[in-house]
Amino acid sequence: MIKDKPHTEIPAHGGRLVNRIIQGAERDRLFSKANDLKKLTLTRRKLCDIEMMAVGAYSPLDGYMGRKDYENVVTSMRLGSGLPWSIPITYRIDRKTAESLREGQDIALVDERQTVLAILHLEEKFEYDKKLAAKAVYRTDSAEHPGVDILYKRGDVLLGGKISVLRLPENREFLPYRLAPAETRAAFKDRGWKTVVGFQTRNPVHRAHEYIQKCALEIVDGLLLHPLIGETKSDDIPADIRMKCYEALLEKYYPKDRVLLSVLPAPMRYAGPREAIHHAIVRKNYGCTHFIVGRDHAGVGSFYGSFDAHHIFDEFAPGELGITPLFFDNTFYCKACGSMASVKTCPHDKNEHVSLSGTKVREMLRAGTLPPTEFSRPEVAKILIEAMRT
């Protein structure tokens, strides 16, 4: 009889899962001095990044990037150490505020109620080239891109340094699903999952998504359905509505012992290919061994090619990222096949494919019309119809 191999966790990116939540006497000491410190108010996006750094989701980062890490990430998708990393994690401020700060200073980071959440141990402040960053990270310098628009509107100076998180942001939604990387890793271990595939989404799951998730489940032990609930565009479907859709779908159409639903409190940057790499690394920190990369991953508008997010993985050596990407082509229901399929498996003409644009689906939902069951599960469509009526 062959015994199962002992459970071994995939290492965090950089080898160690970071934890920047300060406890005990050091926490008390920092709280006591916080009232006398210069204070900076965190935007919603910065609140998201603070939580991600605090719990180790951005391992190996232990704070905001200094100049060396920032410039390396922008130009070569690597930290100063050479470790792959594709998205700058930064704290931008205006020049006037920057002039009032000195390197070596501790700064209290507060929410809109002026509640102290963290201390930034300021190591560097430096200016940066916004257009260079836009072209490198977002592949465009057009302000019509939502990520570039935010980049242009924020400050001209970056602050770099470690953070000490004293408390996580308040009013955090979906607490039962808000699992830190250490907690998802423990859940995988308890379930005996040696291989886990992560799925990134900021939209309700439709039949094409369901199809590729279940294809992936054929080759791994478990699925981490990991919707992003941080800051998104104003026209994206709100997170609370999406969560109801996920719950309804999992209740009826997925094996309960092979799926874990947890939320990702990160902001959406819409950086397409670069964000696909970022999403994969983050899921590695949550304990995933595999990551689904679909068509136009993290894309917006027509800024990226349909499979640019697949091709960018070729820029890293095999195994270098430490997580296995699973690439999926455009999927749909084919009436001639009588099943879900993709362009790789279906020989039939597009006229046989049930394919609806996002605009058409929204029109149907607003009119109270259920999309075809080949496109969306009725339980999900009904939740979306009800949400549009309120």
Q: CA-CA distance, 250 to 70, in Å (whole number)? A: 40
SS3 content of the chain, % helix, strand, coil (to 5): 35, 20, 45
44 catalytically annotated:
no
Q: For residue 362, list its beta bridge partners.
A: none
| CB of 17 closer than 8 Å to CB of 59 | yes
Q: CA-CA distance, 206 to 334, in Å (whole number)? A: 15
CA neighbor of 20 nearest in space, from 49, 54, 51 = 54
**Given 45, 78, 154, 203, the catalytic residue:** 203
| CB of 278 closer than 8 Å to CB of 271 | yes
Q: Exposure pattern of 244-273 as b/e (b: 16+ CB <10 Å)?
A: bbbebbbeeebeeeebbbbbbbbbbbbbbb
The two structure tokens encoding residue 258: 């092979």
**Given 92, 139, 202, 274, the catalytic residue:** 202
The two structure tokens encoding residue 251: 């209740």
203 catalytically annotated:
yes
| CB of 10 closer than 8 Å to CB of 281 | no
Helix axes 358-366, 378-389, angle to 10 degrees: 70
CA dihedral 179, 185, 188, 193 (to 10 degrees): 150
Task: Indicate which residues carry an active-site annotation.
Answer: 202-203
